[in-house]
Amino acid sequence: MNFVIEHSYLIPLLPLLGALAAGLLGAKVLKHNSHWPIWIGVGASALMAIVLLVGMLTEHHEPGRMMYFMSHWFDWIVAGDEKTGIFNAAAGAFIDPLTAVMLAVVCGIGFLITVFSKGYMHGESGYFRFFAYLGLFISAMTILVMGDNLIMLYLGWEGVGLCSYLLIGYYYEKPAAREAAKKAFIVNRIGDFGFALGILLTFYCFGTVSFFGTGPGSNTGFLEKALHGIANPGTEVYVFWIPFCLMLGAFGKSAQFPLSVWLPDAMEGPTPVSALIHAATMVTAGVYMIVRLGTLFVGNSNAMITIAVIGAFTAIWAATIALRQSDLKKVFAYSTVSQLGFMFVGVAVLAPVAAVFHLITHAFFKALLFLSSGVVMHATGGELDMCKMSGLKRRLPKTRILMLIGCLALSGFPLLSGFWSKDEIVHAAGGKSLVLGAVMLFTSLLTAYYTFRLYFRVFEGPEKIPGGDHHHGLSQGDSESHGPAAQAHHNPEPLSMMLPLAILAIGAVFAGVINLPFAAGVREHALGHFLQQSPSFAMAARVATAKYGTLTDTDKLGLGQEPTSHVVEVAPLVIGGGAALIGIALAFVLHLQNRAKADELAGRFGSVTRVLDAKYWVDEIYQALIVEPARALGRLFWWFDRVIVGGASFMIGVIPQIGGAALKFSTQRGYLQGYAVSMLACLVLILLWMFM
């Protein structure tokens, strides 16, 4: 572990080198072996991340002591002087339990997905490009979670945004992919504007962008300054607004309402990208950011309420849209938006551990679900519309099992990972406000319903396979298409694709054990106990204690304090599991037993159906409220630019030319005498002017 901490720069560097190798050599030299540099680079990083996590888990732990390691790579940006305040953004890592957990998720799942991608992307024309982007993404994501200051976080943040843009637009020949890439990029700009503003405000108020400065306890980082309320004189009023600015960034990246519109469209990218970036890792960056900077947020109840409201609304809103989506990936995309809403609610109700817990379990089962739908897509020739397929279980037996596991985990089926993590959030939300808890519970029910609607439609029932064997065509304009080379392999479930899925499935089933509410082999709330050693959590807990007095059980941030009673609260577990079972049962009735009944029901609630089908017209509202006014403004500026600025620059071009011609043919005629006369005449003029 010491090696990893000492050489922590290797974690982002190795995938970056891999990306460089794949990007520079891929087109001509490596070709179909372009995955190797990425496998090696990401694999090494994943190994380091696991070693780090295991090392930190086995480290002797004294209660109340924070565990962190700081690694200074090099001085990056240093500006200013003593008078104006020194801006110092060092390139360095801050490694604590939160970082370790995030690194393990990013690199571990990232590695599994790169392995899966080899089989999945086989024969694509931009094979090397895909892997280069993937390596770049992992590199940026590790910087995001390792950075010890806001600028590093921002670097990684923008880096993953760039990779997301590039990968959504991977099939850039397709207009839809181009549009989706642009949409993701532009919507994220809005959030990033807020984030950048938050960084500027932070520096303005605290005079530093470093999380912990020279280390917790030194009072040099802004988190600690916020904890002790040491802001620059006269800036206290701005401290209140910092969380709101940062929140905007988090909502953009994590696709919360109303900045969520880009994520469903982002499914235009290759499926492994959807799994890695738009489900498991990048979109959780917002949650990570708020958890990391919890000290700034926890004390600001307005900010916390805003997050809770936005998160809960997004969760239920996206879940209702998912009810009527027929595209597999779109269902999962809205599901991701909804689950991210769960995480934000978790953060907002002072249960950040539950949020991180859900982040981890969600990473497993959502990656599993996306990759499985990728396999389905392979088998059906790029078809993802669940209305056009049915009963795939005979054609894809292994995938069916994996998908079933994923679906069960997502719907919160008892004892699977999603059950535990979602329940913790629902429980914590209910502890804060019954309405919030009810909303979250209802959303859980919806989640179970739409998940199993999809499962029953696709894998059960009478067999109907679109495209048959000779599928892999380019005809499906709406979703990604595979080149002729992809048609070569007939086994739709090759080992290189199944193995990562199997590992993810194991995770989806058993990831819950890391934070069980009771001791079962591992101690209860193991994740909470582990994260409690993170300075971010410890400081946030102190702020919360100061603000809300003695913490109740649900208020203790989910950290591993000894519970007041050793009785496991069974009621919330039963209620949560019950909701999941009801949802599944409903889906069983409507989408397996009697599919006609479902259509009839949909017809009966025609207006509701239309609203859901139209996704609440959010895109249209955006178009009318933002895009069109922006276009009009753009036209105005275009006109200004063309007529006023263009006219002025035209004048700058033309007037001198006229003057030049006049001078050229009057004063530069080549006569020696003429020059002499001109010179002396000018001299006389000057003398006259001077002496008159």
The contact set with other proteins (CB under 8 A) reads 649, 652-653, 656-657, 659-661, 663-665, 667-680, 682-683, 686-687, 689-691
Q: Name the residue nearer to other proteins (CB basis): 434 or 677.
A: 677
Smallest gap from residue 644 Cβ to other proteins (A): 16
- Could you tell me the smallest distance in angstroms from the CB atom of residue 76 to other proteins? 17
Nearest residue to 552 (alpha-carbon basis) of 560, 543, 564: 564
Q: How far is the CB of 669 from other proteins (least distance, A)?
A: 5
Pick the closer one to other proteins by CB: 596 or 672: 672
Length reported for the chain: 692
CB neighbours (10 Å) of residue 610?
12
DSSP letters, 597-630, are HHHHHHHHTHHHHHHHHTGGGHHHHHIIIIIHHH
Give min distance, CB of 651 to other proteins, in A: 10
Q: What is the C-alpha separation between 401 and 391, in angstroms, rounded?
A: 13
Our CB check for other proteins shows the closer of 603 and 670 to be 670
Cα distance between residue 166 and residue 169, in whole Å: 5
Q: Which of 632, 651 has the CB closer to other proteins?
A: 651
> Which among 344, 119, 351 has a CA at the least distance from the CA of 246?
344
| CA quadruple 648, 650, 656, 659: dihedral sign | negative
Query: Smallest distance, Å, CB 25 to other proteins?
Result: 24
Question: Residue 657 CB, nearest distance to other proteins (Å)?
Answer: 5
Shortest separation between residue 654's beta carbon and other proteins, angstroms: 10
Helix (H) or strand (E) holding 74: strand 69-79
Q: Based on CB atoms, which residue is closest to other proteins, 237 or 672?
A: 672
Q: Check: CB of residue 384 under 8 Å from CB of residue 328.
A: yes
Closest contact distance (angstroms) between CB of 690 and other proteins is: 6
| Residue closer to other proteins (CB basis): 80 or 229 | 80
CB 12 within 8 A of CB 142: yes
- CB-wise, 229 or 674, nearer to other proteins? 674
Q: Which is nearer to other proteins, 601 or 686 (CB)?
A: 686
Taking Cα atoms as reference points, which of 567, 384, 558 lies closest to residue 476?
Answer: 384
Q: Which is nearer to other proteins, 596 or 690 (CB)?
A: 690
Say if CB 247 and CB 197 are below 8 A apart. Answer: no
Q: Which is nearer to other proteins, 567 or 692 (CB)?
A: 692
Give just the sign of the alpha carbon dihedral 89, 93, 97, 100.
positive
Return the number of the residue (79 or 438) whose C-beta is nearest other proteins.
79
Q: How far apart are CA 653 and CA 655, in angstroms?
A: 6
Query: Please, which residue, 175 or 674, has the CB nearer to other proteins?
Result: 674
Q: Residue 517 — φ and ψ, nearest 5°?
A: -75, 0
The CB-of-661 to other proteins minimum distance in angstroms stands at 6
Kindly state the smallest distance separating residue 80's Cβ from other proteins, in Å. 15
Burial of 65 (C-beta count, 10 Å sphere; 0-12/13-18/19+): exposed
Q: How many CB atoms lie within 10 A of CB 616?
A: 14
Q: Is 670 left (phi over 0), alpha (psi -120 to 50) or beta?
A: left
State the minimum distance, in angstroms, from the CB of residue 664 to other proteins.
Answer: 5
CB of 205 within 8 A of CB of 234?
A: no
- Closest distance of CB 652 from other proteins, Å: 6
Q: What residues contact 273, with CB distance under 8 A and at least 6 apart? A: 134, 167, 168, 170
Q: Closest CB to other proteins among 570 and 661?
A: 661
Nearer to other proteins, 631 or 664 (CB): 664
Q: What are 516's two structure tokens?
A: 């069980």
What's the CA gap between 537 and 528, in Å, rounded? 10
Contact 363, 280 (CB under 8 A): yes
Please tell me whether the peptide bond between 462 and the residue prior to it is cis, using omega within 30 degrees of 0.
Answer: no
Three-class DSSP category at 66: coil
Q: How far is the CB of 200 from other proteins (least distance, A)?
A: 24
Contact partners, residue 227, CB within 8 Å, separation at least 6: 295, 539, 542, 543
Nearer to other proteins, 75 or 599 (CB): 75
* Residue-by-residue DSSP string for 18-31: HHHHHHHHIIIIIG
Q: What minimum distance in Å lies between the beta carbon of 665 and other proteins? A: 7
**Cα–Cα distance for residue pair 486/472, rounded to 1 Å:** 7
Closest approach of other proteins to the CB of residue 667, in Å: 6
Q: Residue 143's Cα: distance from chain center in Å?
A: 14
Selection from 365, 404, 351, 684 nearest residue 503 by Cα: 365
Q: 3-class SS at 471?
A: coil
SS3 percent helix, strand, coil of the chain, rounded to 5, is 75, 5, 25
Identify residue 280 by its one-letter amino acid code.
Answer: A
In terms of CB distance, is 520 or 672 closer to other proteins?
Answer: 672
Closest contact distance (angstroms) between CB of 676 and other proteins is 6
